[in-house]
Structure 1
Amino acid sequence: MNRSARQESRQPHSLAATERGVGAGTTDSGAGSGPSHYKTTRSKRHLEGVLKKYTNLLQSWQSRYFVLDPEVGQLQYYLNELSKSQRPPRGSLPLLGAMVVSSDEFPYMFTVQSTTGDSYKLRGFVSGFV
């Protein structure tokens, strides 16, 4: 990957723009002859799964179970999938206005930066290749 491609891949991405479905619309051709109205084709999906979360220098990267809940606008995490029924979650990050910034520091690494000033440094991983 050349330098300009790496710099471009590290550009922050707004989660608010993604949530609004910017650029992902279909026309709704109503019964009248008025202008077409756009509505989003993306449904608000509840996503969850394991990511590596950077904790600190001593413990480094730890596997945690994350839940992306668009209804409450939060990224929540738990120690593991079995503990996701516990309330409150081990941690949560509000996503309204948050930015996602990719990184070349580690494979599949990105940071979610909330408008509260809190952030999570995360990595996806391929099973067997941690």
Structure 2
Amino acid sequence: MKSLSSIIVCLLLGCAPYVTAKCQLGQVASAYCQHNGTPCNWVHEVKFPIRFDFTPTIFASLAGIDARSDRNLRLQALVSKVTQAGFTLTFSSWADTHVYHAMATWIACDEQQITDKESLVG
């Protein structure tokens, strides 16, 4: 049985997708961005290793950024189009920000299956 702390370590250090009956987690990395004077946007279609019975709640967080240091850093990771089979994760920069590469971690939990809000896994 995995503890919540081991899932957090996995999110921070990067692990293969982790799956339980209640939650799944993984990591997404952007492609390298060749800047041509416009901001970069990367769209990723994430497919869950195991389809959820209900539409899950997704939590996503930036986990790594490679950016030009002499510009302001503007980057967001947006979750959209959530289904029982997956979701879309979009990295977006704007203005004069030059982001070359970004990573995000995500966790998807089926709230219908979570009876103890203190324990998301196990």
TM-score bin (small chain):
under 0.3
Whose relative contact order is higher, 1 or 2, with alpha carbons under 8 Å and at least 6 apart? 2
Question: Could you tell me the TM-score, scaled by structure 2's length?
Answer: 0.26
State which structure, 1 or 2, has the greater radius of gyration over its C-alpha atoms.
1
Q: TM-score, normalised by structure 1?
A: 0.25
